[in-house]
Structure 1
């Protein structure tokens, strides 16, 4: 993303998910709501121990145990349990859990630095995993979390969305039939568009929220690929460059005009 002086960016996240089982259950939710026992990485404890030593000695010397660390790994599939930072709770950070690695950066985000760290993280996954030949990367995700000042009680959300090149319309008959007001005190909106280069989808979401007690429109741009048939060890750089390109072009096109002037 363009290096804007007043950029709306809160956090950038690279997320890598994997399993070591060729017959992993694709038809169930393996996220936080999954209560079915499933050990996504049979070598997780060994991998974590090796990553622990490596990260402490290569730029992430502070270790923090997260609340989910107490959950048995068969019930914590793709949930981060451990965090490594440069200083106490500072950025960038690496997070690890059973079958998941993330790289997180906040206001100091610069693409070149994040790009280098992303490639290093994937390299370390393959170098340090005790059974890299069994690794099956199931999903790659690059996510940008933005927040724009907005008061839902006093401002018109459709006007702001219009400045982002997005128009959402409702037929008047809906309000005539229900006697509802057109004012919107909050929102939650998600849409996905397929991509062929790289293969995956761009997810755009908007939601009402708060940051430091101030009302905001939360705006997330996420590129996600289910890549269980991709050679991630070989092709990750191509994927992350492509994912960033798609997000960057959407973002810059969205803010062109009045919003770009506000963020510069």
Structure 2
């Protein structure tokens, strides 16, 4: 079903993140560009012959199509990127520095294991970062072909799998399993491979004119997100109550899968257009998270189901009709 991510460890533009491949024409402002980023996508059902694209209440034919969104694809999805990320514990030296003792040799072994599917290697500029501060920063990238997606990235204590608009969940899920096979088979000392975080992130773009429209009203009317400030705050102070930007996130505990759901929105530009950038992240708990390959695959499957339900509930109405229509 449709779904979408990327977070940064320092204040740099989205697409230049330590673990986010550069994407032409995409720039984010605010919390999305300050966190450690990953993006998102989905497996979406093909909805055809709806004669939609006109503003009216969500019809039963679309509602029924959404209920079976497991095999095909939205015609006009908002997806920018989807990212699966896994991290494992770093070791600590006597001086307190945390490091991955196999950070130098593991990328080569991972490349050999994934070479048939991702034969093109890229050394990232971050590979020059000193070992003392390189933990959880991707430094190497493997692609299917030059400039193509999906791709795999690796660094000390971290591996990511990234895909963009063409993403389909069943294919992405298969690729996650392949990455996990390579990780658990090729990491030199599996006794040190204690996973501490698994993340599934989706990043979406909703074109929006911040100069002519009220983003708070858009979020409320189109996405069901209530985040407005009382007009009383603006009375007699000479400040317009219509925002020209947006930058916030919510975090919620999740039971299935165990962990957290993070949902945020910010202002950004995608393909030269101002947009509301939405990010949905499912993150495993700090302790007692999935450890084995089977546990991780089960957790990711539940994380995908959660984001799928969240996404379609959020866009139900005009946006779903827009995304379901062929342009």
> TM-score when scaled to structure 2?
0.73
**2:153 is the counterpart of 1:83:** no
* Map of 1:14 onto structure 2: 84
Please say if 1:260 is aligned against 2:290. no
Q: Which of residues 208, 221, 235 in structure 1 aligns to 2:267?
A: 208
- Structure-2 residue corresponding to 1:29: none
Partner of 2:5: none
Q: Distance in 2 between matches of 1:257 and 1:212?
A: 25
Q: Distance in 2 between matches of 1:194 and 1:177?
A: 39
Q: Confirm or deny: 8 A CA contact 2:118 2:144 kept in the other structure.
A: yes
Name whichever structure is richer in helix by fraction: 1
> Would you say the 8 A contact 2:198–2:296 is kept in 1?
no
Structure 1: gaps spanning 5 or more residues: 25-35
The verdict on how the C-alpha distance between 1:10 and 1:165 changes in structure 2, with shifts beyond 3 A counting, is same
- Shift in Å, 1:210: 0.4
Paired with 1:97 and 1:15, the residues of 2 have a C-alpha distance of 11
- CA positional deviation for 1:177: 5.7
Work out which of the residue numbers 138, 141, 152 in structure 2 matches 1:94.
152
TM-score when normalising by structure 1? 0.90
Between Structure 1 and Structure 2, how many residues are aligned?
A: 250
Deviates more, 1:164-173 or 1:240-249: 164-173
| C-alpha distance in structure 2 between counterparts of 1:78 and 1:149, whole Å | 32
Rounded Cα–Cα distance in structure 2 between residues aligned with 1:16 and 1:178 = 48
Q: Is this contact kept in 2: 1:51–1:128, CA < 8 A?
A: yes
Once the two structures are superposed, the pairs formed by residues 104-143 of structure 1 within 5 Å of their partners are: 104-143=162-201
Is 1:191 aligned to 2:254, yes or no?
no
Matches within 5 A, 1:212-231: 212-229=271-288, 230-231=290-291
Query: How far does residue 178 in structure 1 lie from its aligned partner after superposition?
Result: 3.5
Consecutive unaligned residues in structure 2, runs of 5 or more: 3-43, 45-72
C-alpha displacement at 1:259, in angstroms? 0.5
1:147–1:216 contact (8 Å) kept in structure 2: yes
**Structure 1 ranges of 4+ moved more than 6 A:** none
